[in-house]
């Protein structure tokens, strides 16, 4: 009669001690694995299906575009240099020709000067002919007189141009509602003066700084890097959680999901994929989307964290 209650008690104690480390590990990283922030939608998890399949910024493609632009610039500069040399020689060639015509002896005896003059005239004629507009290809619309414009495609549709208006976030797709569009909206245009690589490095630095400040309990450092709503949530979490072993960031990768700029300031969403180890527990991989803001009046003050969303299937 006594062995049964003791065995049950031992099983309960074993279960408590086994499950306690995992419950503690989930709450020790910065943010506690929760979704919260300065906007209501930040309190809801981010659907994995809403993550763009094509990244907004591809470092390899950007490097290729930059290399191509540099090659094109070098080619244009080379042609400018050639044109300048020919431009300097042209007056001498034309002057020699006029002198030969008006002062006699023109082409009576072919010499080097005559050959240079003829060569220069031939080159100028070739350049003038090359600059003539080419005849337009036959329009697929026939002789109806309808001009589809520069945005028309050979199939009769219209191509997307750089001046196309930006589309907002598809919230139906984000929260998995019925009737969500299956066509993925094009990513927004990135401003030419926005350095994506520098921003992602700063975003990763903020991730590490906030995690380190959380490990030490430095609320002042967290306050300087977060908005009011995020700081209040983090402060409440710190007061509710017991002090434990610090969290170590083993690996960290960042991907830019969205960037917006208007008269009020800048907003950016970053997908962090990190490998964390909390104390002596096994490493755990997490995926979180951090929302950063920078008001226009505080452009020199740096970015601040405005929300965290957990990624769920």
Q: Picking from 75-84, 210-219, 240-249, 266-275, which range would have the lowest pLDDT averaged per residue? A: 75-84
Query: Which range has highest mean pLDDT (50-54, 107-111, 233-237)?
Result: 233-237
The model's pTM is 0.56
Residue bearing the bigger pLDDT, 180 or 221? 221
- pLDDT at res. 313: 86
Mode of pairing for the β-strands spanning 46-47 and 247-261:
unpaired
Q: What is the pLDDT of residues 190-247, one digit of tens each?
A: 888 999 999 999 999 999 999 999 999 999 999 999 999 999 999 999 988 765 789 9
Q: Does domain 12-56+190-312 have CATH number 3.10.450?
A: yes
Asked if residues 249 and 274 have their Cβ atoms less than 8 Å apart, the reply is yes
Every domain of the chain and the residues it spans: 12-56+190-312, 62-130
The two tokens of residue 75 are 């080619």
Asked if residues 282 and 310 have their Cβ atoms less than 8 Å apart, the reply is no
Residue bearing the bigger pLDDT, 192 or 166? 192
DSSP the chain: --HHHHHHHHHHHHHHHHHHHHHHHHTSSTTTT--EESSGGGGSPEEGGGS-SS-S--HHHHHHHHHHHHHHHHHHHHHHHHHHHHHHHHHHHHHHHHHHHHSS-TTSS--HHHHHHHHHHHHHHHHHHHTSPPPPPPPTTTTS-----TTB-TTSSB---TTSPPPPP-HHHHTT-TT--SSPPPPPPPPTT--HHHHHHHHHHHHHHHHHHHHHT-HHHHHHHB-HHHHHHHHHHHHHSPP-PPEEEEEEEEEEEEEEE-SSEEEEEEEEEEEEEETTSPPEEEEEEEEEEEEGGGGGG--EEEEEEEEE-
């Amino acid at each position: 009669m006594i062995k049964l209650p003791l065995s049950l008690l031992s099983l309960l104690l074993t279960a408590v001690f086994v499950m306690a480390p995992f419950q503690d590990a989930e709450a020790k990283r910065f943010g506690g694995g929760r979704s919260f922030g300065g906007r209501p939608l930040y309190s809801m998890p981010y659907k994995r299906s809403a993550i763009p399949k094509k990244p907004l910024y591809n470092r390899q493609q950007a490097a290729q575009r930059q290399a191509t632009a540099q090659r094109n610039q070098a080619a244009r500069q080379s042609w400018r240099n050639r044109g300048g040399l020919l431009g300097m020689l042209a007056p001498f060639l034309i002057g020699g020709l006029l002198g030969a015509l008006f002062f006699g002896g023109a082409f009576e005896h072919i010499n080097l000067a005559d050959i240079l003059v003829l060569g220069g005239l031939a080159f100028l004629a070739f350049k003038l002919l090359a600059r003539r507009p080419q005849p337009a290809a036959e329009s697929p619309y026939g002789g109806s007189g309808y001009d589809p414009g520069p945005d028309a495609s050979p199939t009769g549709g219209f191509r997307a141009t750089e001046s196309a208006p930006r589309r907002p976030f598809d919230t139906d797709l984000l929260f998995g509602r019925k009737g969500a569009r299956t066509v993925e909206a094009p990513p927004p245009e990135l401003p030419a003066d926005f350095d994506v690589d520098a921003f992602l490095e700063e975003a990763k630095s903020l991730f590490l700084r906030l995690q380190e400040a959380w490990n030490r309990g430095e609320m002042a450092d967290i306050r300087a890097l977060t908005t009011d709503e995020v700081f209040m949530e983090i402060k409440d979490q710190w007061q509710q959680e017991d002090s434990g072993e610090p969290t170590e960031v083993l690996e960290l990768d960042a991907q830019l999901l969205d960037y917006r700029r208007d008269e009020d300031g800048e907003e950016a969403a970053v997908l962090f994929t990190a490998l964390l180890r909390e104390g002596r527990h096994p490493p755990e991989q997490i995926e979180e989307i951090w929302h950063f803001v920078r008001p226009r009046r505080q452009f020199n003050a740096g970015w601040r964290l405005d929300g965290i969303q957990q990624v769920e299937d």
